[in-house]
């Protein structure tokens, strides 16, 4: 049998999964510190839900990249392509839910798309959203979670903020009709530069003058105050007002990483107000580490009728975050393949070694024991290959002395210690 993974998916081996669990665990702690509650939606959704035109948006790749399947009853199903559509479906299906509803969800999503570097067909998303609050306090809290989250991961970031009402209003002000299409081009400013965007704006139907005007308005480094003085359109003024309120809150919360960036657009069609993106301030990863924004319309559309259910949220990009952390870990040279702190090697002392390894575990020390592997050198080689930092050798000599031999695998140093001594040393 020719063994292969399904195309475009991957195993996450222990050395990577250990790091990933650390990240996911830290994000969970931060989400809960900010009172976001966990939700788990299913991986399988009705195809009709996933393809609702107000969900992914007609232009979105997600739609044509949805994995389709049927159950034995012939029902049309699909694998979720994000965690936002299932959240909107959940809120719409639970009209008695207390609002604001603050939830986080971390889990895998699927895209049956072309494979590029760093893209897989199954990948993790780490989302958090506040449903049911129009207040800019909710937007400020998203940024506070990001700042705390990245600081707990040890990644120095800059949090860029803009507002779709401002962008849309600015385009309206200079007579642009193709606003949604123009946003897709503006979103590429980082990647293709000013000239590239100008060219694409013209392709998307803007005049050369309009393209230059919009690029001048949102030029790098323009402050909210500078821009404010040039805004005449009502929607753009509303965007400015929201940003001012938001920045007053982030200041009162003591956030230090938040900056206004008039050119930040975000690709997705469903954003309605604030948009955010997070970028690493060091290292070689230049793509955004997190993104999000306000999406006030989708849930109401799922519910039908005219109810507005405001929503704001963001995602930590687990894939680029892990890239940043791996880059750091490689510098440090630490990538364990086992959670064990110590590996116990019995030499004709199986009974006492079993009691010892259990005592270590009772004391909260992650401990492994040789499972019948023969020979000191083979056992040492095994512990070393897994990156286990300490080995205990328990032979008959040590037993007589009521001690064990603790070997530091990094330095090779060995110490004769009693069990309490080992526990004290490994608990440090």
Query: Which residues, 31 to 70, sit near a copy of itself by CB under 8 A?
Result: 32-46, 48-49, 52, 67-69
CB–CB of 126/106 below 8 Å?
yes
Residue count, binding to a copy of itself (CB under 8 A): 98
Residue with smaller CB distance to a copy of itself, 30 or 170:
30
From candidates 58, 59, 93, 230, binder to a copy of itself by CB under 8 A = 93
**Which residues inside 249-288 make contact with a copy of itself, applying CB under 8 A?**
249, 252-254
**For residue 186, what are its two tokens?**
């503006």
11 binds a copy of itself (CB under 8 A): yes
C-alpha–C-alpha distance, residues 407 and 413, integer Å? 6
Q: Which of 178, 10, 39 is nearest to 104 (CA)?
A: 39
Q: Which of 139, 107, 141 is nearest to 30 (CA)?
A: 141
Pattern 97-126, a copy of itself, x by CB under 8 A = -x-x-xx----x-x-x--------xx----
Considering only residues 171 to 230 of the shown chain, the ones binding a copy of itself according to CB under 8 A are: none
Choose which of 26, 148, 160, 407 interacts with a copy of itself (CB under 8 A). 148
- List 116, 117, 284, 304, residue binding a copy of itself (CB under 8 A): 304
Side-chain-side CA neighbours of residue 413 (13 Å): 4
Residue of 129, 141, 261, 277 that binds a copy of itself (CB under 8 A): 141
Q: Binding to a copy of itself by residue 323, rule CB under 8 A?
A: no
Nearer to a copy of itself, 69 or 216 (CB): 69
Alpha-carbon distance values, 245 to 64, 117, 225, 357 (Å): 39, 40, 13, 58
Q: Sign of torsion, CA 285 246 183 228?
A: negative
Stretch that binds a copy of itself, among 153-161, 225-233, 357-365, 390-398 (CB under 8 A): 357-365
> Per CB under 8 A, does 358 bind a copy of itself?
yes
Cis peptide upstream of residue 70 (ω within 30 degrees of 0): no
Identify the residue among 118, 193, 364, 375 touching a copy of itself (CB under 8 A).
364
Long-range Cβ contacts of 371-379 (<8 Å, 24+ apart) = 376/345, 376/347, 379/343, 379/345
Which of 61, 63, 134, 212 binds a copy of itself (CB under 8 A)? It is 134
* β-sheet bridge partners, residue 392: 344, 406
- Of 186-194, 204-212, 219-227, 369-377: span binding a copy of itself (CB under 8 A): 369-377
Q: Who contacts 198 (Cβ-Cβ below 8 Å, separation ≥6)?
A: 208, 211, 212, 215
* The one among 83, 84, 85, 90 contacting a copy of itself by CB under 8 A: 90
**One of 366, 396, 401, 420 touching a copy of itself (CB under 8 A):** 366
Q: Using CB under 8 A, which of 56, 83, 85, 92 touches a copy of itself?
A: 92
Considering only the stretches 273-281, 379-387, 401-409, 418-426, report the one whose residues sit in contact with a copy of itself under the rule CB under 8 A.
Answer: 379-387
Please, which residue, 195 or 428, has the CB nearer to a copy of itself? 428
Could you tell me which residues come within 8 angstroms of residue 158 by beta carbon, excluding any fewer than 6 positions away? 257, 259, 278, 279, 281
Asked if 305 interacts with a copy of itself (CB under 8 A), we say: no
- Provide CB contacts within 8 A for 370, sequence distance 6+: 343, 344, 345, 346, 379, 382
Residue in 127, 90, 91, 89 with CA at minimum distance from that of residue 107: 127
Q: Which stretch binds a copy of itself (CB under 8 A): 29-37, 186-194, 326-334, 410-418?
A: 29-37
Q: How far is the CB of 304 from a copy of itself (least distance, A)?
A: 6
Among 192, 334, 355, 376, binds a copy of itself (CB under 8 A): 355
Beta strands in 132-167 (DSSP E): 157-163
**What minimum distance in Å lies between the beta carbon of 289 and a copy of itself?**
21
């Amino acid at each position: 049998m020719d063994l292969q993974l399904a195309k475009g998916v991957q195993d996450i081996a222990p050395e990577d999964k250990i790091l990933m669990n650390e990240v996911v665990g830290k994000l969970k702690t931060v989400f809960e510190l900010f009172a976001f509650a966990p939700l788990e939606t299913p991986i399988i959704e009705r195809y009709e839900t996933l393809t609702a035109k107000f969900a992914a948006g007609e232009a979105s790749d997600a739609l044509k990249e949805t994995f389709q399947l049927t159950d034995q009853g012939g029902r049309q199903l699909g694998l979720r392509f994000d965690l936002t559509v299932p959240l909107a479906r959940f809120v719409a299906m639970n009209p008695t839910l207390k609002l604001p509803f603050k939830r986080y969800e971390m889990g895998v999503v699927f895209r049956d798309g072309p494979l590029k570097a760093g893209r897989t067909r199954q990948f993790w998303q780490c989302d958090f959203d506040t449903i049911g609050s129009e207040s800019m306090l909710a937007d400020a809290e998203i940024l506070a979670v990001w700042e705390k989250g990245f600081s707990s991961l040890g990644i120095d970031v800059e949090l860029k903020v803009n507002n779709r009402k401002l962008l849309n209003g600015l385009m309206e002000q200079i007579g642009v009709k193709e606003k949604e299409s123009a946003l897709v081009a503006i979103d590429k400013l980082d990647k293709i530069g000013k000239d590239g965007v100008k060219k694409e704006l013209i392709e998307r139907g803007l005049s050369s003058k309009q393209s230059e005007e919009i690029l001048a308005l949102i030029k790098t480094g323009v402050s909210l105050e500078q821009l404010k003085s040039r805004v005449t359109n009502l929607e753009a003024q509303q965007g400015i007002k929201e940003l001012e309120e938001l920045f007053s809150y982030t200041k009162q919360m003591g956030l230090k990483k938040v900056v206004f960036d008039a050119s930040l657009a975000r690709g997705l069609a469903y954003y309605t107000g604030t948009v955010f993106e997070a970028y690493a301030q060091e290292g070689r990863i230049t793509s955004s580490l997190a993104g999000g924004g306000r999406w006030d319309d989708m849930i109401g559309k799922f519910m039908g009728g005219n109810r507005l259910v405001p929503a704001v949220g963001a995602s930590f990009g687990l894939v680029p975050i892990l890239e940043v952390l791996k880059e750091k870990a490689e510098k440090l040279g630490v990538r364990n393949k086992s959670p064990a702190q110590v590996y116990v090697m019995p030499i004709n002392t199986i009974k006492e070694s079993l009691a010892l390894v259990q005592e270590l575990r009772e004391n909260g020390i992650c401990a492994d024991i040789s499972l019948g592997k023969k020979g000191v050198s083979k056992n040492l080689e095994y512990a070393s290959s897994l990156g286990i930092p300490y080995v205990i050798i328990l032979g008959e000599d040590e037993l007589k002395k009521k001690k064990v031999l603790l070997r530091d695998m990094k330095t090779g140093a060995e110490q004769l210690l009693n069990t309490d001594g080992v526990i004290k040393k490994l608990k440090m």
